[in-house]
Amino acid sequence: MPDIPRDIAEEVLSRLPLTSLREVRLTCKKWNTLTKISLMRLSLLDQSIERIGNLDADQVDISKIFHCDSLFLCMTNSGLVIWNPYLGQTSWIQPRNSYHRWDRYALGYEKKKTSKYSKVLRFFNNHDPNVNHRICEFEIYSNSSWKVLDDLNLDRAISFNHRGLSIKGNTYWYAQQKIDLDGPPVIRDLPDFLLSFDFTTERFGPRLPLPFHAFFGDTVTLSSVREEQLAVLFQKSGAPGYTVKIWISTKIEPNAVSWGTSLFLAVDMKPLTGFQFDRYAGSFFVDEEKNVAVVLDKDSGKSRNIAYIIGKNGYLKQVDLGESRNRYCYPLVCSYVPSSLQIELGNTLI
């Protein structure tokens, strides 16, 4: 098996059903690697999988990934890379000084009258025990160089494990008010809201309201609908727990959001799965026409990646996506439209 050319191996793997992935990974080390670091198209109807593209899996290990339009920003063991899977094109980004394990990143674009220019936001907002105070650093990458944003300040807390979401070139995070380090040692009830970053003005927006209030331990995750609307999933950790609620915005901009008057979906998961989706995972998307949501998480034992298709009246279907590479590594799903436009950050239309 190791002697089969890579392009032929990828073609074979792209035609296999999801239920065969476990056996494929046990065939040889090379096939095991090829099935781990790839972008794939998933059909939940016939449980088939189609390879769209992959990075050089023998040289990089992806720890996090951020999507904006047709591009992916990948955080790897070798640094940052912008990836267009459709073209198989990559563009590596060198740090201004050095990368830090607690760095946060977002990918978006600046909007002009007839064009949009891609940018990368890097920010470090963490307590440094060596100097005993919080350090905030903000940088924008465009035109092949980093620019320091000295006049920015982040007076809100974004959990390191919460993914940001790009819609119409701007990024949104679920955020909470910062904990007062001089206050009570444990605070469960903090004001929460949406936080936005406008890549055109290069500024954080005001606090945007949510249609619920979450406590520490609750599951909150964001998704997009047709790259135009924001969807938010909320699931309580305490009583009455397990009910998944999903709202879809009627308007979303860096300075304004509207949620309409009704829920898109509410499903009691206790009799269906008996557990809460991971509060730092639960990546999902919705099908408005069929009134269902697909939530990617793991099984109760955290050993296998599962797609949970949930709908009204207790509808549940589970699709096994294969063995989990790492119990702390969760699957990510996002809307993707292939593009043949070239990568040139800040210099050309993407």
pLDDT digits (tens, 9 = 90+) for 63-103: 788 988 888 898 887 788 888 877 778 888 988 887 777 78
Asked whether 262 and 269 are in contact (CB, 8 A), the reply is no
Domain for residue 131, yes or no? yes
Domain for residue 10, yes or no? no
State the pLDDT confidence band at 348, using cuts at 50, 70 and 90: very low
Asked whether 120 and 350 are in contact (CB, 8 A), the reply is no
Asked whether 196 and 172 are in contact (CB, 8 A), the reply is yes
Q: Is the pLDDT reported for residue 347 higher than 60? A: no
Over the stretch 224-251, which tens digit does the pLDDT of each residue have? Answer: 998 889 999 999 987 777 899 999 999 9
State the pLDDT confidence band at 210, using cuts at 50, 70 and 90: very high
Asked whether 333 and 283 are in contact (CB, 8 A), the reply is yes
Domain for residue 42, yes or no? no
pLDDT at site 14: 52
pLDDT at site 52: 57
> Are both 249 and 281 inside the same structural domain?
yes
> Are both 79 and 203 inside the same structural domain?
yes
Domain for residue 34, yes or no? no
State the pLDDT confidence band at 260, using cuts at 50, 70 and 90: confident
Domain for residue 16, yes or no? no
Provide the token pair at 29: 């080390």
CATH number, position 243: 2.40.128
> Are both 199 and 108 inside the same structural domain?
yes
Is the model more confident about 31 or about 205?
205
> Are both 190 and 154 inside the same structural domain?
yes
> Are both 251 and 194 inside the same structural domain?
no
Provide the token pair at 343: 């990568």
Q: What are phi and psi of 21, to 5 degrees?
A: -60, -40
pLDDT at site 275: 86
Domain for residue 251, yes or no? yes
Q: Which stretch of 21-35, 118-132, 212-226 has the lowest confidence by average pLDDT?
A: 21-35
Task: Please give the average per-residue pLDDT across 303-309, as a whole number.
Answer: 88
> Are both 297 and 170 inside the same structural domain?
no
> Are both 196 and 235 inside the same structural domain?
no
pLDDT at site 206: 92
State the pLDDT confidence band at 57, using cuts at 50, 70 and 90: very low
> Are both 277 and 187 inside the same structural domain?
no
> Sign of dihedral through CA atoms 123, 118, 90, 18?
positive
pLDDT at site 341: 61
Q: What is the value of pTM for the model shown?
A: 0.81
Q: Is the pLDDT reported for residue 298 higher than 60? A: yes
Asked whether 262 and 299 are in contact (CB, 8 A), the reply is no
pLDDT at site 267: 93
Is the model more confident about 42 or about 325?
325
> Are both 150 and 221 inside the same structural domain?
no
Q: What span, in angstroms and rounded, lies between the C-alpha atoms of 12 and 334? A: 25
The residue range of the domain holding 257 is 217-331
Domain for residue 318, yes or no? yes
> Sign of dihedral through CA atoms 194, 124, 197, 286?
negative
What own/partner pairs with CB < 8 Å and gap ≥ 24 does 160-164 have?
Answer: 160/102, 160/104, 160/126, 161/280, 162/220, 162/221, 162/280, 163/64, 163/66, 163/221, 163/222, 163/283, 163/332, 164/66, 164/104, 164/106, 164/222
Number of structural domains in the chain? 2
> Are both 111 and 140 inside the same structural domain?
yes
> Are both 196 and 272 inside the same structural domain?
no
Domain for residue 37, yes or no? no
Q: Is the pLDDT reported for residue 15 higher than 80? A: no
> Are both 202 and 240 inside the same structural domain?
no
